[in-house]
Amino acid sequence: MQALMDVRCKNLVNPVCDWLGEIYEPASREFVIPGRGRLPLDEESVFCMLGVPRGEIKVPYEVNNTIEETLFARLFPGMTSMPNTTVLANSLEGMKTHGEVFKMKLLMYLISAVFAPTTSLRPSNKCFPILAKLKEVKNMNWCKFIADFLHDAFSNKMYQKGCRLHLMLMYVDRLDLSTVDFTGIGGPPPPHKFAVSAWTYDAVKAVLAADKITDTKYGKLQLMAKHAIDYSVFGGPQNFGKWMDVHSAPSCPVEARAPVEHLIGQFASGMTSLLGKLVEGWTSLNGSDSDAVARQFTPFVAERTHRPTGCRGRYDYNSS
């Protein structure tokens, strides 16, 4: 959890988080940025943003009344019900020792306010089984927990739940920043292992201001090359979806089609890039050299485009 102790951005830009929730595609577990590409919601992305432990133990976020009764009196003596998250934060600020009780309260606050916030104003009682295994926290898979919590929330269209800090950092950290003006705010984020320790609130605001299309919609900037998918050969993302509809087997379920669609999109994007470079180089040649290149391509395309095709665009080899 050390990276979170060095967090530089302590405020959220909620509109971009709302927008990301709306463009989330549960079947592929990706945020589909219109005309730009896709960003995965997985363990790796959470780790790169927050630097939280990625161990082998499942985070025991669940109700356990026995553990709750044992720990509640120790954490909140004199109280009969769970305090709200603000009271918990104030309690932490007032503590002068950093022993086990402090660590349990801090972890409860992180879970409730950062990792897995819900619509409730109070910490979830599902935190108690985690607190009971305080020494194992560093061996738990917090990356999977945070990603799965967001996935479940967005799949149920509950966009106010989940780790918004991850959403915001994940998006801005994967944009092409070459056209963003960072004058007066200390420049762009420095090279970093974890985004949470590099991005300031001012830097986030500058990027999102450049990326904003309307008050509730983003996507003006390009994604970094390794995350971008170029759908121009299909006429854009929507036409790519229609193309997949035509060519996919009717019996193919959405869950099975999603990874195929993603890979085909990446392949087509790569081919589009290669064709673009080919055209750029070809058109820079003089007349005789250009004709020589054309002759090299002719055997591959000549007389092959006249075969009859079926209703789905496939060659009909039985036609005479």
Same domain flag for 41 and 150? yes
Is 7 within a domain? no
Is 117 within a domain? yes
Strand 217-218 with 212-214, pairing:
antiparallel
| DSSP helix/strand/coil, 54 | strand
- Cα–Cα distance, 82 to 15 (Å, whole number): 30
What's the confidence (pLDDT) of residue 318?
45
Same domain flag for 48 and 148? yes
Same domain flag for 185 and 122? no
Is 313 within a domain? no
Rounded to two decimals, what is the model's pTM?
Answer: 0.73
- Sign of the four-CA dihedral 179, 183, 185, 191: positive
Give me the helices (H) in the chain, please: 2-5, 14-22, 43-50, 65-75, 85-94, 100-110, 128-131, 142-155, 164-172, 201-211, 237-247, 254-282, 287-301
Full pLDDT tens readout for the chain, 320 residues:
677 777 888 899 999 999 999 999 998 899 988 778 889 999 999 999 999 999 999 999 999 999 999 999 999 998 999 999 999 999 999 988 889 999 999 999 999 999 999 889 999 999 999 999 999 999 999 999 999 999 999 999 898 889 999 999 999 999 999 999 999 998 999 999 999 999 999 999 999 999 999 999 999 998 887 766 666 677 665 677 778 888 889 888 877 877 787 677 767 767 776 777 788 787 888 878 878 877 777 776 655 544 444 444 444 444 43
Domain that holds residue 106: 56-140
What's the confidence (pLDDT) of residue 236?
61
What's the confidence (pLDDT) of residue 225?
73
Same domain flag for 148 and 199? yes
The position carrying tokens 């194992």 is 136
Same domain flag for 132 and 164? no
